[in-house]
Chain A
């Protein structure tokens, strides 16, 4: 039984990681997923949220994705993110500001389009903050 699998994390703007991993943890549309080698083939869309890669040597790294897809085929995982950032590059102040702004827009009861737009922004900002907090907890 193989203990590692190939993993690619790409966003539309850049390739973030390419190499072997032991495990991938991501938040899929229907719930969080932990994928280890030997997982059944799977395709799912992703919610805005954290993606955690556990590397061969046991180290891990946290990414933030704003949505996208995750494909699992035997011994290979591909994450196609709409946009992705390394967790340590996230800007907490900006995320909090975005959250405030989105909440304010939601409260103002605008047209349906703007409402759904603000709801998406809010979900993304909350997910960003969640990733930052997760990173901080692990550091502590």
Chain B
């Protein structure tokens, strides 16, 4: 009986797709757990280094570092952290929307923008959208290392030091929970005032440090490390977001495939039943005619 052959094959192909999406969902779930752990593991470094910078800034208040100086804004830099792979829902799209809105705002004020793209998707996006990309890192993988990122971060920091850009931001997805990821914009340079003020207030006492080799050198190196660690932190967080978003997207895809299969099976059964009924009535009709 050749009823609804097309429907059968369609159901078969949807079932195959469903298998793939549900496998991807499981993989993303386990990767997300690991990425979340890594996200937790890297946070202490940024916290500690901020603490030390706070101590130093109080111990040596007369030294005003370039990274703490507010300048008039003529040109700004953005480090855009995206994923390497797609199939993760609207994660990247939402992020880019935010960046584009920012770019539009700056454009309106006549401020020019330099970009650093981390992750293949950002690179692809800015290639088609346009924008002055001065540094890129692609394929950071599931376990990004600081060494992979340092190059492009350094390009941006050098640009800041040379006065080519007057402000540096990082844009990434903030991991709220498994269901929610929020695109975030964080100012890296100059170090946001409220943060440094906060520090000096909380550290009432200051110590007369012994510096090896000397105060300026140590503070310089620390501030650079701090910015690098912030960028690293945002990459790791974005990675956790990617896996979470992929898990949710793939769960939705699997559910939709199930729904589609149910609908098609209903149509198929109806067609089969109609064919049987027709056949019976033909036989009965034929018998009556005899």
Contact = CB atoms under 8 A, between A and B. Distances in A.
Interface of A: 8, 10-15, 18, 28-30, 40-45, 68-69, 71, 73-74, 78, 80, 82-83
Chain A interface helix/strand/loop/mixed: strand
B42 interface: yes
B72 interface: no
Given A40-B210, A44-B210, A83-B146, 18 more contacts: A8-B44, A8-B48, A12-B229, A13-B42, A13-B145, A14-B41, A15-B44, A15-B45, A41-B208, A42-B209, A42-B210, A43-B209, A43-B211, A44-B211, A69-B225, A74-B207, A78-B51, A80-B45
Given A13-B42, A15-B45, A29-B213, A71 B52 contact: yes
Interface residues of B, number: 29
A15 B39 CA distance: 11
A69 B221 contact: yes
17 contacts: A12-B146, A13-B38, A18-B44, A29-B213, A40-B210, A41-B209, A43-B56, A43-B212, A43-B218, A44-B210, A44-B211, A44-B213, A45-B217, A69-B225, A74-B207, A80-B45, A80-B49
Interface string B210-231: 1111010110011001001100
Residues of B contacting A: mostly = helix
Contacts of B217: 45
Nearest to B208: A41
A45 B221 contact: yes
A102 to B, nearest CB: 16
A14 B52 contact: no
A27 to B, nearest CB: 12
B52 to A, nearest CB: 5
A71 to B, nearest CB: 5
Contacts of B52: 43, 69, 71, 78, 80
Most buried by B among A8, A12, A29: A12
A12 B229 CA distance: 6
Given A12-B228, A78-B51, A28 B44 contact: no
Contact of A13 (B41, B211, B215, B225): B41
Contact of A41 (B51, B210, B221, B232): B210
B16 to A, nearest CB: 39
Interface string B16-53: 00000000000000000000001001101100110110
A18 B43 CA distance: 14
B246 interface: no
Contacts of B232: 12
Contacts of A73: 55, 207
